[in-house]
Homo-oligomer: A and B are copies of this chain.
Amino acid sequence: MSNNKAILIVADSERDSNMYYATGFSAPDTFAFIQRSSERFIITSDLELDRAKSQSKADTVLSFSKYERIAKKRNGKATGLIDIVAVALKEMKIIKLQVPANFSIEYADFLRKDGFKLEVKKDPFFDSREVKNDEEKGDIVATLRNTEKALEKAIDCVRKSIVKDGFLFSSRNRQITSESIRNIINVELMKKGCTAKHTIVSCGEQSCEPHNVGHGPLRANESIIFDVFPKDEKTGYYADISRTIVKGKASRRLKKMYKAVASAQELVFKSAGNGISGDTIHRKVMKHLTSLGFKTGKAKGKMQGFFHGTGHGVGLDVHEPPRISKVKCTLQTGNIVTVEPGLYYPGIGGVRLEDMILITDDGCRNLTKSPKVLEV
C-alpha cells in the first residue's frame, strides 16, 4: 500500500475477530486499528492505554485524548470516537481506507463525508486467517482436546445411566436432562478456561432441528445429538465436535441414517485436499445421501434430510471461511474445517457427526479423536 493508504478497523476485539487477529489484544470497548504498510497503530481510551502498550502487537499505541482537543476544535462540540480517528488519519496524511465488510455504516458515512475514500474488502478480510500457522493449529487442537474430554464425560454419564419407563436416571436417581448434561460439558470446559455457549444436547424430535440446543428429560432408544463448540478464552481459538448416540437400542432406520452420515464423512475425508473445490465436495455429499435413499426437502411444513452445509472453517470464529457448502470455494493447505454431514427426519430423529480436518498438500488429516459409537 502506498503511503496515503491504510487498513482501518474500528471495533471491540472481544466480539470482532478481525480486530483480535490484527491486534492480538482483547478489549471489550471499541477502539481503532490502523495499518499503513507494515506499521500498526492502535488508538484507544486512556483506560486501555497501558494494557494495549504491553499486550498488543501494535507498533504504536496512541490515546484518544491526544486527538480529542483538535477534534473538538474542528467540529466545535463534543467528540465521538470516529471524530478522533479522523483527526489521527489526517495527521498521518491517510486518505484511502480499506475496511472490513462489517465496518459500521455510521463511521463509514462520517469518514466519506469527511473526504476519505473507503474500499470495502469482503470476508476473509485477512486472507491469512484461512491458512492456519503452526501456533494456530496448536491452539485449535488444544481446544479440541479439551472439548473431546468434556464430551466423553457427558457421554459417559449417559452410558452409565439407568433407564426407567424410557427415561434416563443417574445412579443417585436424579433424572438426566439436556440441561444437566449440557451443564456437565460446559463446567468441564470452563475448568480448562474454555467457554462453551449454546452447547447442543438434543434428544428425539428436538434433534431434528440442527440448532435446537435441547431441553427436558433424555429418553432411551432415541437419538441424542451433542454439538460442542467452545472457545479457549486465553488463545481465542475455537473447536467444534458433534456426535450422536442412543442409550439402549437404535431403530433400524436410525442405524441406517448413522451409517449413511458416517460414510458421507468418509467421502469427504477421501475427497478433501489442497486445490479441491469445496462446493463440489458438498454436492458429492448431497448426492451420496440421496443415492442412499435419504431425500432432502420440506415435508408437513418442516425441513428434513440434509439441509445445512457440509463444513466450515474454525479459528477465531466458530464459523468462518472457507465453507464446504453450495457457495464456491477452493480448499487450500492449512485450512482447518469441519466435516459435519447430518440427516434429520421428524418421527425418526436426527444424526450428525462432526470432525475437524486439516487440509494438506496431498489430502487431509482428521484432527478429531473422539470415538464414534451409536449405541451406548
Interface residues of A (CB under 8 A from B): 14-15, 26-29, 45-51, 78, 99, 101-106, 108-109, 118, 120, 122, 183, 186-187, 190-191, 193, 195, 197-198, 209-212, 233, 302-303, 307-308, 318-319, 327-328
Shortest distance from the beta carbon of A104 to any chain B beta carbon, whole Å: 5
Contact B198 A233, beta carbon cutoff 8 Å: yes
| A328, B303: Cα distance in complex, Å | 50
Whether A105 touches B120, Cβ cut-off 8 Å, given contacts A28-B198, A211-B51, A302-B50, is: yes
Whether B210 pairs with A47 at a CB distance below 8 angstroms is yes
Residue of A50, A104, A109, A327 most packed against chain B (CB within 10 A): A50
B residues less than 8 Å from A28 (CB atoms)? 198, 211, 318-319
Task: Pick from B45, B191, B319, B328: contact of A29, CB below 8 A.
Answer: B319
Are B197 and A233 in contact, with the CB atoms below 8 A? yes
Which listed residue, B78, B104, B308, touches A47 by the CB 8 Å rule? B308
User: Known contacts A191-B183, A195-B197: does B109 contact A209 (CB below 8 Å)?
Assistant: no
Query: Does B101 contact A14, Cβ atoms closer than 8 Å?
Result: no
In contact, B51 and A197 (Cβ under 8 angstroms): no
8 Å CB contact of A303 from B26, B27, B50, B303: B50
Q: A210-B47, A303-B46, A318-B28 are in contact. Are A122 and B106 (CB under 8 A)?
A: yes
Instruction: Give Cα distance in the complex from A28 to B227, angstroms.
Output: 13
- Given the complex of chains A and B, what is the CA–CA distance between A302 and B50 in angstroms? 7
Residues from chain B with a CB closer than 8 A to the CB of A109 are 120
Taking a contact as CB atoms under 8 Å apart, the answer to whether A118 and B106 are in contact is no
Residue of B nearest to A213 (CB): B26
Q: A106-B102, A120-B106, A327-B78 are in contact. Are A195 and B198 (CB under 8 A)?
A: no
A78 to chain B, nearest CB (A): 7
User: Which chain B positions have C-beta within 8 A of A190?
Assistant: 183, 186-187, 190
Q: Which residue of B lies closest to A111 (CB)?
A: B105
Determine which of B101, B187, B319 lies in contact with A104 in the assembled complex, contact meaning CB atoms within 8 Å: B101
A135–B130 alpha-carbon span in the complex (Å): 42
Contacts of A14 in B (CB 8 A): 197-198
Contacts of A307 in B (CB 8 A): 46-47
Say whether, besides A50-B303, A106-B120, A27 and B211 are in contact (CB < 8 Å).
yes
Residues of B within 8 A of A101 (CB): 104-106
Query: Can you name 19 A-B residue pairings with CB atoms under 8 Å?
Result: A14-B197, A28-B319, A45-B308, A46-B308, A47-B307, A49-B303, A50-B303, A51-B209, A78-B328, A102-B104, A102-B105, A105-B105, A105-B108, A105-B118, A106-B120, A108-B108, A187-B191, A195-B197, A198-B233
